[in-house]
């Protein structure tokens, strides 16, 4: 959409195996493809053209820490299950910069990060597993996606 004020990362996937991550800023976008059957993304740009517009990449060090931790965990398993993916989302290694983020740094109330939900979509079973809030403290609820 033109004239947008900001952008986010959008993950688009299909049961045929297509897996895309669309990085969006206010004026640009880039498309990443999950060539090996997986794709990891956190809160910083991965595409080189998008990295060029980041004002202060050092503000996003925590995002990079989470990215490399998640990438390592994703690559450790050859065949993930809902349980192994939930374990990644509940991971606390590198706390306070862990994948499951608890907003422990309360110095600046306008600059806090926290996990607001954890989501896993199983396209084979056509189910969505969703935990509201931190997945280490809240149960996953299963939603059936069949029409």
Instruction: List residues binding Zn ion (CB under 5 A).
Output: 100, 134, 136
Residue 49 vs 96, nearer CB to Zn ion = 96
Yes or no: say if 80 and 112 are a contact pair by the CB < 8 Å rule. Answer: no
DSSP characters over 60-104: GHHHHHHHHHHHHHHHH-SS--HHHHHHHHT--TTTTSSSS----
Interstrand relation of 19-24 and 127-132 (parallel, antiparallel or unpaired): unpaired
Q: Measured from the CB atom, is 39 or 136 closer to Zn ion? A: 136
Backbone dihedral angles phi then psi of residue 131, each to the nearest 5 degrees: -115, 125
**Residue 21 or 134: which CB sits closer to Zn ion?**
134
Instruction: Work out how close the CB of 62 gets to Zn ion at its nearest, in angstroms, rounded to a whole number.
Output: 14
- Provide the minimum distance between the beta carbon of 27 and Zn ion in the complex, in angstroms, as a whole number: 35
By beta-carbon proximity to Zn ion, the closer residue of 71 and 136 is: 136
- For residue 71, the minimal CB distance to Zn ion (Å) is 19
Least distance in angstroms from the C-beta of 108 to Zn ion: 21
Q: Measuring CA to CA, which residue among 47, 86, 94, 50 is closest to residue 68? A: 94
Distance CA 65, CA 94 (A): 8
Q: Count of residues for the chain?
A: 147
Of the pair 40, 100, the CB lying nearest Zn ion is at: 100
What is the smallest separation between the CB atom of 59 and Zn ion, expressed in angstroms? 22
């Amino acid at each position: 959409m033109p004239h947008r004020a900001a952008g986010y990362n959008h993950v688009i996937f299909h049961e045929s195996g297509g897996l895309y991550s669309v990085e969006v800023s206010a004026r640009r976008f880039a498309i990443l493809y999950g060539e090996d059957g997986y794709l990891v993304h956190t809160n910083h740009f991965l595409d080189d053209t998008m990295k060029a517009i980041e004002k202060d990449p050092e503000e996003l060090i925590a995002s990079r820490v989470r990215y490399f931790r998640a990438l390592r965990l994703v690559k450790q398993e050859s065949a993930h299950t809902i349980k192994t993916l939930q374990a990644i989302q509940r991971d606390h290694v590198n706390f306070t910069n862990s994948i499951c983020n608890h907003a422990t740094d309360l110095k600046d109330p306008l600059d806090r990060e926290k996990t607001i939900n954890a989501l896993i979509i199983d396209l084979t079973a056509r189910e969505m597993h969703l935990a509201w809030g931190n997945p280490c403290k809240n149960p996953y609820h299963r939603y059936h996606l069949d029409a």
